[in-house]
Amino acid sequence: MGAGHDTVAAELVRRARERGDTAQTVDVLALLPYGLGTVLRCFYRGSVRHFPWAYAAVYRLFLRPGPGRRPSGTPLARLAGGRLRELARRTGADVVVPVFHLGAQLTGHLRDRGLLPVPAAVLVIDFEVHRQWLHPGNDHYLCLTEDAAREARGSTGRPARRCGPVVAPEFFAGTTGAPGTAEWRDVFGRLGPGRPAVVLSAGAWGVGSHLDTTVRLLTDHGFLPVVLCGGNRRLRRTLSGAPGVLALGWVTDMPGLLHAARALIDNAAGQTAVQALAAGLPVVGHRPLPGHGADGVRRMAALGVSEFAEDDTELLGALRRLTAPGPAREQRIAAGHALFTENGDALTLVTGVADGSRAPVRHRERANDRDAHTNR
């Protein structure tokens, strides 16, 4: 449903293989029959890009936290149940780790009915935990913050712990920056000498509200806008025609780019935002996407790891404070780093769930061995 989910899954797999384990990623949408996964992805992308009010309505109906009964995503998710069960059996999986809420509904449904023999540890990658992440059938929840873990425990009755965001190690490079940092700084210096480079993230699909207006505001006030247009070629062509703007497509060297910039303007509280926090880049939420994007951006600001700018004046004020050297910038960077340094490792927690599920089995096997020895 977005590159952020794929990126988290890929990083977990990399860590697991680095430790000598076997791991693989699976697109839960590809497990849905009749091409429903493609239909769902296209509907979501089209809604967010062209009809944000429609996605906002879907979010209020299905996802937003709060009391009261609402439609569940389980009927859709259960259509993928047979394929996931077969995949778990064929691979000999010890644990299944959903990083997308539809996957969490699927594993919760299967575990609740005894149809999935291995535990499900849900990795919630949103700062705001919406309803579709939560199913009491899942064994364990891993969340970005203690607030999110508390909400998961209260809603499901299942164990939940904080693990912090999952990002690749390149984002944590020291003061010299990640490989590629110097090259990006050269690019920024040639295009906007003396102008602080401010990254605007539009996600993998290149979605944002009034991005052209924000870009003009930044250029008019002495900043160099660096726009991540993702796969939206039309957006990139449009913004590339503006003077003093760097409009990029899909970027493979995100660590270097983020280390070279001075701030990130974020509209979704997604993976780019947490990558920026890891890289020591202050984050300012502005004009967030409807639904969980808006809720997540505001939750990040409430946690103190970012700022939220309601209007142009607040945006410019935040950028001037956070791009300049000084205590405001250092405090914001430190708050972002604390998300990673004060939490457990996600993979360690996942393997702990798997080991814990096997412990009773090993205990029973040892007990049976003792009984057999006694009978002899």
DSSP 256: H
**Is 354 in contact with 94 (CB distance < 8 Å)?**
yes
- pLDDT, tens digit, 9 for 90 and up, residues 44-84: 777 777 667 777 777 777 666 665 555 555 677 788 899 99
The full set of domain ranges for the chain reads 3-166+345-375, 170-341
The pLDDT assigned to 292 comes to 80
Same fold, 3-166+345-375 and 170-341: yes
Phi-psi region of 264 (alpha: psi -120 to 50; beta: other; left: phi over 0): beta
In terms of Cα–Cα distance, which of 84, 80, 123, 79 is closest to 101?
123
E strand residue ranges, 158-295: 160-162, 197-201, 224-228, 246-248, 263-266, 283-286
For the chain, give the percent of residues with pLDDT over 90.
Answer: 70
pLDDT value at residue 241? 85
Pick the CATH number of 170-341 from 3.40.50.2300, 3.40.50.2000, 3.40.50.300, 1.20.1250.20: 3.40.50.2000
Classified as helix, coil or strand, 123 is strand
pLDDT (0 to 100) of residue 338: 94
For 3-166+345-375, CATH gives 3.40.50
User: Using one digit for the tens of pLDDT, what is the confidence trace for 10-26?
Assistant: 999 999 999 999 999 99
Stated length of the chain? 376
pLDDT in tens, 209-256: 899 999 999 999 999 999 999 989 999 999 998 899 999 999 999 999
Weakly modelled stretches of the chain, pLDDT under 70: 1, 50-51, 62-74, 175-176, 358-376
What's residue 66's pLDDT?
Answer: 60
What is the model's pLDDT at position 363?
37
Q: Are 230 and 357 in contact (CB under 8 A)?
A: no
Nearby residues of 145 by Cβ (< 8 Å), 6 or more positions away? 127, 162, 303, 339
